[in-house]
Amino acid sequence: MDCFWKKRYARDLRQFNTACHTHTSLLNKETLISDLRSLDALGILNPSEKKNKLQEEARDNFLSTIKVNEEGRFRVSLPWLDNHLPLKDNHDLAVKRLDSTVKRLKAEKLYDAYGEVFNEWKREGIIEEVPKSEIDLPCHYLPHRHVVKQKHYNTN
């Protein structure tokens, strides 16, 4: 009798007096008995060791990709996790966030001043417009929260 069948149709098995037991053995002559108690031998890493490994990989990535461009600005590649699923296209959500942010900025009478910050960043090359040919391509938009720094005047 098949084990999967028994699990799936357990209610029908009440009439049978059968049992299913699975036992798997692995013989590895090179493994020491003391290693069997080691979690990393089973592929289980200590979370702090895993974090340290990721931090070290990020640092190595930073050091191997850092460059200074012709304007004297630093450029570095972002570290990517291996085997990570691609991020989902969130265009519709991003448009809703944008509408909400624009509405809030207009209500707070900060829309024009905030727009000028983006214009300045564009002039300085910090940001750039997305080419029209790329606008309809699937991508993942990062959330943005507006931050306004009020000017403080020193009275000294």
Q: For residue range 133-149, list pLDDT tens digits in order.
A: 988 888 898 888 877 77
- Greater pLDDT, 80 or 15: 80
Per-residue model confidence (pLDDT) at position 8: 44
Where would I find the H helices in the chain? 3-8, 47-65, 91-107, 111-124, 132-135
**Given 42, 62, 84, which residue is the final one in a domain?**
84
- Greater pLDDT, 100 or 22: 100
- Tally of domains in the chain: 2
The Cα 156–Cα 153 span in angstroms is 9
- CA 38 from chain centre, in angstroms, equals 30
Residue 3, pLDDT above cutoff 70:
no
**CA 77-140-95 angle, 5° bins:** 135
pTM of structure: 0.49
Instruction: For CA atoms 132, 133, 136, 137, give the dihedral sign.
Output: negative
Phi then psi for residue 71, to 5 deg, are -90, 0
Q: Are residues 73 and 96 in the same domain?
A: no
The Cα 145–Cα 156 span in angstroms is 34
Strand partners, 75: 67
Per-residue model confidence (pLDDT) at position 143: 84
Q: Are residues 120 and 139 in the same domain?
A: yes
Least confident of 3-17, 40-54, 60-74, 100-114: 3-17
Q: Please give the biggest Cα pair distance in the chain.
A: 92
Q: Are residues 138 and 103 in the same domain?
A: yes
Most confident of the ranges 69-73, 76-80, 107-111, 143-147: 107-111
Least confident of 52-56, 66-70, 104-108: 52-56
Residue ranges making up the domain that contains 57: 52-84
Q: Is residue 18 part of a domain?
A: no
- List Cβ neighbours of 94 (8 Å cut-off, separation of 6 or more): 141
Q: Are residues 78 and 101 in the same domain?
A: no
Residue 154 tokens read as 């020193």
Task: For 29-60, write each residue's pLDDT tens digit.
Answer: 666 666 656 666 666 666 666 678 888 888 99
The Cα 51–Cα 47 span in angstroms is 6
Per-residue model confidence (pLDDT) at position 102: 94
Per-residue model confidence (pLDDT) at position 80: 80
Q: Are residues 94 and 66 in the same domain?
A: no
